[in-house]
Structure 1
Amino acid sequence: MRAWYALTAGDSRGVVAAAEAGEAAAPCHSVAVQLAAQRAKAWARMGDRRQVELALDQGRRILGGLPYPENLDHHFVVDPAKFDFYAMDCYRIVGENGLAEVYADEVVRSSTDSSGIVRKPMRVAEAQITLGVVAARAGDLDRAVDLGRQALSGNRRSLPSLAMVATDLSSVLTKHYPDAQETQDFADELRAVKAGRTA
């Protein structure tokens, strides 16, 4: 939990330190997979692509050696679909748009059942943000903002995590479309969400 709190607080070095301590204490457990992924996210935010790949590779190796989990709803259990969610985040941050989009599409697919009901709404919201970032970087402002608004409008969300990734989208919009009204509108909606109001 210390690694996650540090991540959402913007303390990337603190994430790495907490993750390494946790991995040393439980090197062959599911939580070590999650910690490797949190470390990868921190390295992504620090701009170190090599360390991102090393952390993701370590997480995949540990995950590959574990039995398939019995309870996928347990917060500290990581399954392949959850690891894709972590990788998506890393690739969005480092600007690997193609990989980010592939992982985001897979996150949406694996989080939605055959009847179209979203079973993992928080994962889908962050995937929508990722797809919004990719759209913004590709020049599609309307799609980017629409996806961002969809993500913010969900009823079930982890506010610190959602706010962090939505801020990524807001930053990309500001960079690419600084004078667009849609950029300001999205920033206003994000501020409202951070303040605890409905998007």
Structure 2
Amino acid sequence: MLESLPYPEDTDHHFVVDPAKFDFYAMDCYRIAGEDRLAEMYAREVLRSSTEPDGTERKPMRNAEARITLGVVAARSGDLDQAVSYGRRALSGDRKSLPSLLMCSKELATILRDRYPKEPEAISYLDEVRALSAS
């Protein structure tokens, strides 16, 4: 739907989607809708476009949410180690918008709790998310 709209003239307008954020919004929508292939594709694009060639992250919160998305995709596909690895990397950043990060992390936490309730790695990650939400 967004792709069919003309390029906005005033990206500061409250009801205009900034094209630079399109991949980020699409990633979230596809993750929530369970469209894992597209969610992963957009998450990788968000990471690519938000990271300098030297590895410096220009958009750390977008990258954190992209890693959570990759963690969700990995968890849904049965790769617990990869899911927890992406989740931990998302939580480890220096700059955090806790409400946004926790909302996104809750989705990964729910999948891990439901699909891997007795796995030590999942339990450990869930403890990290709980500790972060308590802070």
Partner of 2:37: 98
Provide the C-alpha distance between the structure 1 equivalents of 2:29 and 2:132, rounded to a whole number of angstroms.
23
The count of corresponding residues between Structure 1 and Structure 2 is 133
Q: Which of residues 116, 119, 127 in structure 2 aligns to 1:177?
A: 116
Tell me, yes or no, if the aligned pair for 1:81 and 1:110 is still in contact at 8 Å: no
Q: Please name the residue that 1:165 is paired with.
A: 104
Identical pairs, percent: 58
Per-residue deviation at 1:143? 0.7
> Normalising by structure 1, what TM-score?
0.62
1:1-12 equivalences in 2 (<5 Å): none
- Residue 127 of structure 1 aligns with an amino acid whose one-letter code is A
- What is the aligned partner in structure 1 of residue 7 from structure 2? 65
CA deviation after TM superposition for structure 1 residue 68, in Å: 8.1
Instruction: Flag the structure with larger Rg.
Output: 1
Match of 2:53 in 1: 114
RMSD: 1.8
Distance in 2, Cα, partners of 1:158 & 1:189: 16
Correspondent of 2:63 among 124, 134, 142:
124
**Aligned mate of 2:80, from 132, 136, 141:** 141
- Matched residue type, 1:130: T
AA aligned opposite 1:149? R
Which residues of structure 1 form unaligned runs of 5+? 1-56
The separation in 2 between residues aligned to 1:168 and 1:190, in whole angstroms, is: 11
- Gapped runs of 5+ residues in structure 2? none
- 1:135–1:144: 8 Å Cα contact kept in structure 2? yes
What do residues 111-160 of structure 1 show as CA deviations (whole Å, max 9, x unaligned)? 01122211000000000000001011111100100110000111101110
TM-score, normalised with respect to structure 2: 0.89
Deviation at 1:61, TM superposition (A): 4.2
Superposition deviation, residue 78 in structure 1: 4.6
1:151 paired residue number:
90
